Structure 1
C-alpha cells in the first residue's frame, strides 16, 4: 500500500512540475538595449505571457514567438514566426498563427507591460522557441510577419 501511495505522489509531483511557470529573460540584440522579463504560465486554453519590457523606443512594437531558441547576434537564428498550423499572419483577435502576439506599447520612458495569450499552446510546445520584440509596430496583416522590422530583444523559452 505504501508503494502505491508513493507512486501516486511521485506522478502527481511530476505533473505539477511539468506545468510550473517558465521564466524567460529577454536580452538586447546587437546594437540595441531593449530587455525584459516574462513569465509563461499554462492554463486550460493556452499559455499566458506576462511581464515587463524596458529600454524600448516609445510606441508600439511587434511581439512574436519564433521557431527557434537562438538569440545570438541579431537573433536571426530564431527563424520565422512559430506557425505549427500553417495559418496566415494576422491580429491576435482574428484567425492567425500561434506566433502572432500582436504589439506591445512602450510608454514615454520605454517601458511596456506584457499580457498576451497563446491560445491552444502548452508550455511543452513552446519550449525551444524564442520570444522576440521588434523595432516597429506589427501592422497585423503583411505576410508573413507583419512588417515589424528588426529584432531588438530576444528570449529563449527553455
Structure 2
C-alpha cells in the first residue's frame, strides 16, 4: 500500500514527510526527515496509540501492507512486508542504521519525538525509488541491551538474532512509506 504525501513533502529536496496509518487505514500521525549538514533530523508525531514507550525504526522495504508476510515467508502480521531494520550503505553492525530512539506516548495517546541520526541520508530513505517503511511498534525497544551474563536455554548467547533484528519491540502498529 502506498500512502499519499502529507503537506511539506519535497521530492528530491532536503525534506521527506509522510503520514502514519494504522493497520485499519486510519491516521496515526506524521513523520518528517530533514537533511542537515552531516545528519538527518527526524520528527515524529503519533496519535491513537497506547501510552508508554514504542519502538521506532526504519525498515528495509517501502511497503506498508496490513496482514502481510515477511519477505522471507512466515506467518502474516501487520506491516511485515516492510522486512527488517534498514541497513544503509552495506552496514551490518548493530544497532542497525534504521534503529531510532523510542517514542514516548503520553496519556491520551499522543507523542512527539525529535531526534537525529548520522547513520543514513535521505537518498538511503529514497532507496532508488523503492522507498523505506517507517514503523512504530507496540512495545518498547530494548536496543539489544541484554547483559552477556544471561543466556538462553541450551546455553545460546544473548542477545539472540531476533533481539538484534527487532529489539523485541513487538507488533507493528503504525507505518509510513518514505520515498
| TM-score normalised by structure 1 residue count | 0.79
Q: How does 1:5-154 map to 2 (within 5 A)?
A: 18-30=12-24, 35-73=28-66, 74-84=78-88, 85-88=91-94, 96-127=95-126, 128-141=131-144, 142-154=163-175
1:17-47 C-alpha deviation (Å, 9 max, x unpaired): 73331111110024x9671112110011221
Residues 124, 118 of structure 1: alpha-carbon distance in 2 compared, 3 angstrom cutoff: same
Give the Cα separation in 1 of the matches to 2:79 and 2:11: 29
> Which structure carries more strand by proportion?
1
Structure 1 or 2: more helix by fraction: 1
> What SS does the aligned partner of 1:153 have?
strand
8 Å CA contact 1:67–1:130 kept in 2: the answer is yes
Gaps of 5+ in 2: 1-9, 67-77, 145-162
- List structure 1 runs of 4+ shifted beyond 6 angstroms: none
- The size of the alignment, in residue pairs, is 135
**Whose Rg is larger?**
1
The 1:40/1:99 distance shift into structure 2, 3 A limit, reads same
